[in-house]
Structure 1
């Protein structure tokens, strides 16, 4: 089963890559690696959530938003290579989590992104990851995800 078929089987739709809101591109390929820019939880051109984890949103809500961000990152990879079947491995994922100063569940929020990538790519979706707490993110989003994919 192709990654695109797995996405459909999960009941998801690979979104169109939104136009950047600043001076960058959604993804860049160098050699066998594709680096995505940070992806926020846009669904159909609208933010699926804003605010801070631990103050405005629960850890579970954050994980669901991280899942959306990861799907958007996968779309950015596809926009660069054309066919997700060319993904050899997801190498690294970075999850930025905007939270209340006492919020310490960044890894659980990041699991939303990691689990989606494993569901879509199987063992090739298992990756190294950092989940980092930050004071604020663009557009007041609670989560932003970027990744590096090895491609053929």
Structure 2
């Protein structure tokens, strides 16, 4: 898959959990925040500190990290059967109501990048805050073609 060549090395964590667990033919990717080059690309709450366009960009970065982790830990994107589920968490102030539009940024990125393999069911959850003051967090469950 040509997209794999454009993916960065996935952003790690110093915290006590796994970023991907592959069990059988299922890959569980932990929640990804919008990190680039070791730093958060965006911080704050949507509607208070960020405009919706910045939140959508954050969601796309999170999805890019999801794919980087699948590429790194699940036998490469060529071993991806399809995405199954995406959950998008959006930290927002009380006045912001368009959390689904933010999640659309993540969904559209995954579908645009992977085609039909990127289609998924999803949940969108508005929250008061996210780790490290991130505005968006995206987690994914995927089906693989072969065990890793």
Query: TM-score, structure 1 length as denominator?
Result: 0.90
Q: Please tell me the root mean square deviation across aligned C-alpha atoms, in Å.
A: 1.2
Name 1:19's counterpart in structure 2. Answer: 12
**Secondary structure of 1:102 counterpart:** coil
**Distance apart, 1:102 and its partner CA:** 2.4
Q: 2:129 aligns with which of 132, 136, 147?
A: 136
The CA distance in 2 between the partners of 1:117 and 1:43, in whole Å, is 18
The CA distance in 2 between the partners of 1:45 and 1:129, in whole Å, is 27
Aligned CA distance change for structure 1 residues 41 and 120 (closer, same or farther; 3 Å): same
The CA distance in 1 between the partners of 2:123 and 2:40, in whole Å, is 23
2:37 aligned with 1:44, yes or no? yes
5+ residue gaps, structure 2, are none
**Distance apart, 1:6 and its partner CA:** 3.7
Deviations 1:84-126 (A, max 9, x none): 0111111000000000022111110011111111111101111
Name 2:112's counterpart in structure 1. Answer: 119
Q: 2:85 aligns with which of 81, 89, 92?
A: 92
Moved over 3 A (4+): none
The CA distance in 1 between the partners of 2:83 and 2:12, in whole Å, is 23
2:55 aligned with 1:71, yes or no? no
5+ residue gaps, structure 1, are none
| Preserved contact between residue 59 and residue 137 of structure 2 (Cα < 8 Å) | yes
State the aligned residue count: 145
The CA distance in 2 between the partners of 1:114 and 1:62, in whole Å, is 13
